[in-house]
Structure 1
Amino acid sequence: MKADVLERILTAHEGGAWAPETLHELDAREEFPAEAVAVLDGAGLAASYVLTPDSDFPAMAELIRAVARRDLTVAIAHGKTFLGTVPVWIDGTPAQTRRLAGRVRAGDAVCWGLTERAHGSDLLAGELTATREDGAWRLDGEKYLINNGSRARLGTVLARTDPAGGGRGFSLFLVDRDDLPPTAWQALPKVPTHGIRGADISGFVLNGARVPADALIGNPGDGLGLVLRSLQLTRIACLGLSLGAADHALRLARDFVTGRELYGRRLSDLPHVRRTLGRAAAAALAAEAVSILAGRSVHELPGELSVTSAVAKAYVPTQVQELLGRLGELIGLRGFVVSPPGSGFAKLDRDHRICAVFDGSTVVNRTALLTQAPRLGRLLRRTAADTSAVRAAADLGTPSTPIDPALLTLTSATGCSLVQSLPEAVERIRGQGNPELTLLAETVERQSRELATELADFVPVSGGLPSGAFALAERYERLYAAAACLRLWLHNPARPAGALTRDALWPRACLTHLLDLPETQAYDDLAAVVIDWTAPAFTLLDGAV
């Protein structure tokens, strides 16, 4: 399924289950949006969550984005099935993969049981146990704050299989709730949440839940490593949630500033308003550039996803939340009242905050990046890169390499080729003869040389990182975003068609934003594009994915 097909299906239900007022009422009652989810099931969206070598990972993320720009609660509730299935797609047996694919296509929800009440994201402290018993496994314990914890029919559950714990002390199991007696899987009550109020954020308790030997995913002791490799894919898929939120926010802000007047002038005619709108649009496009390169790297640079996924998951939700802050100031108080016209923004703002937490918070992802910082610095200084793979990832007209989960690694021996190939990209930008874009690109390259030295000299320490270290990670994220923008521009100079590509508008605006330079004409010109925007997504893709 393509995103434009899903968009037409959802549009057809705008008078019913997908009516904004209906979804708002459900949110106010903290009620699960069952009818909206049923529309997605009927459309066959879940089939896109079945990962095969021929899957198109960026296209799946675009489907998530299409749902998220209408309602984040529904997108998060439905998309959780993909997160819960990834370990099986990576390391499941053919029989496990076949059975799970059938259940997912049939619309059965799958949850991912990782976290526990007393331990949060400290997976090494997990207490839910799995013990061998007469050729099977017995699971006992609780998983808490689990999306779809009570609605799911299947769950991928992390369990302690060695009482001593440790890195090899945990395993993953695919637990089929339909094969258990009711007392073996007891759903916990829904937990009230600040955002995504209608989502099934709950948990479950397993009491003597006997599962067959073939419920084990991979081998005993593989659990934590498999979780970390799975996160490399789920973190990138989650970016579609933030891009959908950015689409929604830009549309709400655009409609507000073009529909209101101040002192006899439309708000959108005021210079400060236009530049604020333009910078928000630049931030959205930079976030999309990161998401596109990360998604295509699943196909072209899978061995580097330990870096790419951490960078993308730290950068995109954080930038979109800042975008929401800028646009919230434009809309003002009307954006936070309970009734129209601004109620959509208030819900969007609080719903999106959870996106930075899913599958590792910003701090967790920056910490993961910093553990590889010295190697990243050395490779950046040497400009060692797989440039052919970078070009394949950036050229939206190039058919993607089949997905091979066996190539996922816990650390990247080759660093991050996109960032490390930056000097070549800048040289090609010089050859295009656009003085303003060249100056911006050269500034990025100069900052990359400075950062390379600091990263190479950085020494990760156990027991916590100094607060200043996270600034290094944030700078690396911005460098990745700038490299993504430059590469997409170089390899797709005519995409998207129209004003965004005229005089290299979108890359100039994005680099101006990423370098945090003073406001320029580029923001004004980008605001004009937003004001005239009519498509569902504010995007660089132009139908390419």
Structure 2
Amino acid sequence: MVTALLAPTTRPAPTAAARAAELEARLGDPGDPGNPLGFAALLRADEQARRFDAGEDALDGFGGSAEFVPVELGGRLDSVPGLVEVMRPVFRRDVALGMGYGMTSYMAASDVWTEGTPEQQARLAKVLLAGGRAAIAQPETTHSNDYVRSQVTARRVADGLLLSGGKPAINNLDRAEALVLFCRTDPEPGSRSLSALLFDPRELPLGRARTLPRHLAVGLRGCRFAGLEFDDCPLPDGALLGPPGSGIEAALRSFHLSRTVMSALAVGAVDTVLRTAAGFDQSHRPNGWGAARASAARTDTAVAGAFVNVLLYDSFAAVALRALHLLPEQTSVYSAALKYLMPRVLIETMYELSTVLGSGIYAREGSLGIFQKHLRDVPVLSLGHAGTVACQATVIPQLPWLARRSWFAEEPAPAGLFRLRDPLPPLRTERLSLACDRDSVSAELLAGVAEEAAGRGRVLAVLRELVALLAEQFRELREQVLELEEHPAAREVAGFALVDRYALLLAGASVLGVWRHAQGGDDPFLADPSWAAAALHKVARRLTPKVPALPPECEARILQEVRIRFSARHSYDLWNTPVSG
């Protein structure tokens, strides 16, 4: 729980939407070759594997680090969805800038806001509000990627702790003024074997801590990953973040935040990839979109399908983000399922869009160069504790509890979970459960079956069919999960496939909820059944071969919206906000 130690500013801060718009304007048109914050400049930095300094300076001028500090501590962080809304303009432009400038600091800080003492919170808030950086060395899990696997141990001595071991890849280590590090404090396995530490890595004694050479990856070349090795390195007891042995609980709780936030921010990069493909398509038709070309039908399908994928995934992301505030006890499943779907939906979408560019995908400069950069950067976000297998392993043991106690018995989620602009209560991190036996989001599928949508037409008719089909798939999933309880030996192997089905159904339920609660709202496209039918159609096709065909007017309406937003310079996510360029 964050303790209010620093007085907030007396003048109310602008809303997240206003701050996002201000940041978008500061960054300017990314396609302008003369813009020092544009694609040309950031691609030069990426080619040289260096930080995009001009971008970091612009974010400093905006006061970007205040976005990671709660308002109670003098910052601007008042909601997790608000943080994502403000940072999406950065991720639309450069994932490495977003990670290097701030999201690494946020991931470290979220542990401190959750577990730290008032003094630790105040100290880190001071660092961040002054423009400093924090870093995090996260714990390895059973299913961690080798990219982050390692171990640091700490043994107690009379005047504190002695650290040994190492971490091979820590982002921002070279400039961090605060490091959150998870280490093993008990050699025996168990829930009390890990502890978290908070200290300034610049103050480590010489000869007891050694920085390893920079680790350069294919993606996020603008980030500086370096390793750190300890040799009986002393730290005082005051470095402990939370009680000794509380590291596992702290990490699992913070995973709810980091998995959800990073998954939602990835949408920004795919937004740019879609915009790049749409612009390429328009420019390579003799008379723009007014004239067809030989491959027009295939290209139209690819572009429309990519837009639907963005809306499908962003619906789940928006619901998972808002659930952190509204349904914190249920987010252990939502955060892991959302992160699991990122490679399946977003990364696959980017590769599908590469067919629109053809050989243009190999361009490393200009507006097309950003396409290839995002292709390299976004997959890196799925590594480590948030990797595919780690996320599946998080959900598998919770499936039997959900099947027995919640599915087909739970009340639907509150309407505010699906309404993007509804106010949210404060984040209560102490209510983020390590596991849960409730799921209100999937209940939206059953509510959709019971409620007849107003209006007529072929698209609405197919939408109703798809909702009923997904509800039946949900019923079959419950039966399969319950059957597995009688065959424990097959549970883990079969469980991975069941998590896949469950994640898709959660995404479908989120789409249905966003569409249903957009009726009568201020965005006529979100209230249109075309995108919702197309999104549920994609979900259903991954679950069963028996899927009703979409009416042709469905793709036509979606393609029309793609072109409207491109021409009007609006984002392709649910927010549909103005973008620069």
Q: Please, what TM-score do these two structures have when normalized by structure 1? A: 0.91
CA 1:475/1:432 → structure 2, altered by over 3 Å: closer, same or farther? farther
Please state whether the residue corresponding to 2:502 is helix, strand or coil. helix
Q: Is this contact kept in 2: 1:117–1:143, CA < 8 A?
A: no
Which residue number in structure 1 is paired with residue 447 of structure 2?
424
CA–CA distance in 1 between the matches of 2:564 and 2:187?
61
Please state whether the residue corresponding to 1:150 is helix, strand or coil. helix
Which residue number in structure 2 is paired with residue 276 of structure 1?
302
* 1:365 has 2:397 as partner: no
Residues 45-96 of structure 1 show CA distances to partners (whole Å, capped at 9, x for unaligned) of 2212124687211010122221111011111212111111111111111221
Amino acid at match of 1:194: V
How is 1:126-525 mapped onto 2 (pairs within 5 angstroms)? Answer: 127-261=151-285, 265-267=291-293, 270-340=296-366, 342-385=368-411, 387=412, 389-414=413-438, 416-430=439-453, 434-459=460-485, 465-466=492-493, 468-495=494-521, 497-502=523-528, 504-516=529-541, 518=549, 520-521=551-552, 522-525=554-557
Q: Is this contact kept in 2: 1:115–1:121, CA < 8 A?
A: no
Amino acid at match of 1:133: V
CA–CA distance in 1 between the matches of 2:189 and 2:71?
32
CA–CA distance in 2 between the matches of 1:463 and 1:174?
41
* 1:38 has 2:57 as partner: yes
2:48 counterpart (29, 36, 60): 29
User: For structure 1, which segment, 224-233 or 45-54, has the greater mean C-alpha deviation from structure 2 after superposition?
Assistant: 45-54
CA–CA distance in 2 between the matches of 1:87 and 1:123?
22
What's the offset of the Cα at 1:532?
1.8
CA–CA distance in 1 between the matches of 2:394 and 2:488?
12
Q: Is this contact kept in 2: 1:129–1:159, CA < 8 A?
A: yes
CA 1:242/1:61 → structure 2, altered by over 3 Å: closer, same or farther? same
CA–CA distance in 1 between the matches of 2:540 and 2:407?
20
Q: Is this contact kept in 2: 1:396–1:492, CA < 8 A?
A: no
Q: Is this contact kept in 2: 1:33–1:198, CA < 8 A?
A: yes
Amino acid at match of 2:327: L
Cα RMSD over matched residues? Answer: 2.9
Q: Is this contact kept in 1: 2:418–2:513, CA < 8 A?
A: yes
Residues 163-182 of structure 1 show CA distances to partners (whole Å, capped at 9, x for unaligned) of 33433121000111243345
What's the offset of the Cα at 1:262?
7.4
2:561 counterpart (512, 522, 529): 529
CA–CA distance in 2 between the matches of 1:29 and 1:259?
30
4+ runs deviating over 6 angstroms: 116-119, 122-125
Please state whether the residue corresponding to 1:342 is helix, strand or coil. helix
CA 1:201/1:464 → structure 2, altered by over 3 Å: closer, same or farther? farther
CA 1:374/1:108 → structure 2, altered by over 3 Å: closer, same or farther? same
Amino acid at match of 2:573: T
CA–CA distance in 2 between the matches of 1:250 and 1:262?
21
1:108 counterpart (125, 128, 132): 132
CA 1:96/1:398 → structure 2, altered by over 3 Å: closer, same or farther? same
What's the offset of the Cα at 1:291?
0.7
CA–CA distance in 1 between the matches of 2:221 and 2:146?
25
* 1:541 has 2:575 as partner: yes
Q: Is this contact kept in 2: 1:496–1:542, CA < 8 A?
A: no
Please state whether the residue corresponding to 1:402 is helix, strand or coil. coil
Q: Please, what TM-score do these two structures have when normalized by structure 2? A: 0.86
* 1:70 has 2:93 as partner: yes
Amino acid at match of 1:174: L
Q: Is this contact kept in 1: 2:518–2:526, CA < 8 A?
A: no
User: For structure 1, which segment, 367-376 or 226-235, has the greater mean C-alpha deviation from structure 2 after superposition?
Assistant: 367-376
CA 1:412/1:293 → structure 2, altered by over 3 Å: closer, same or farther? same
Q: Is this contact kept in 2: 1:114–1:157, CA < 8 A?
A: yes
Q: Is this contact kept in 2: 1:139–1:206, CA < 8 A?
A: yes
What's the offset of the Cα at 1:28?
1.0
CA–CA distance in 1 between the matches of 2:140 and 2:418?
39
CA 1:530/1:173 → structure 2, altered by over 3 Å: closer, same or farther? same
Amino acid at match of 1:515: A
CA–CA distance in 2 between the matches of 1:213 and 1:189?
29
Q: Is this contact kept in 1: 2:402–2:437, CA < 8 A?
A: no
CA 1:330/1:439 → structure 2, altered by over 3 Å: closer, same or farther? same
CA–CA distance in 2 between the matches of 1:74 and 1:212?
34
What's the offset of the Cα at 1:356?
1.9
Percent of aligned positions that are identical: 26
Gaps of 5+ in 1: none
Please state whether the residue corresponding to 1:153 is helix, strand or coil. strand
Amino acid at match of 2:132: D
CA–CA distance in 1 between the matches of 2:50 and 2:149?
33
Residues 197-233 of structure 1 show CA distances to partners (whole Å, capped at 9, x for unaligned) of 1211222223444333222111111111211111011
Gaps of 5+ in 2: 1-15, 542-546
What's the offset of the Cα at 1:332?
1.1
CA 1:469/1:426 → structure 2, altered by over 3 Å: closer, same or farther? same
Amino acid at match of 1:43: F
Aligned residues: 539
Please state whether the residue corresponding to 2:436 is helix, strand or coil. coil
What's the offset of the Cα at 1:353?
1.3
Q: Is this contact kept in 1: 2:308–2:534, CA < 8 A?
A: yes
Which residue number in structure 2 is paired with residue 58 of structure 1?
81
CA 1:324/1:125 → structure 2, altered by over 3 Å: closer, same or farther? closer
1:85 counterpart (109, 120, 125): 109
Residues 429-481 of structure 1 show CA distances to partners (whole Å, capped at 9, x for unaligned) of 44565323222211221211111211222349589932x43221111111111
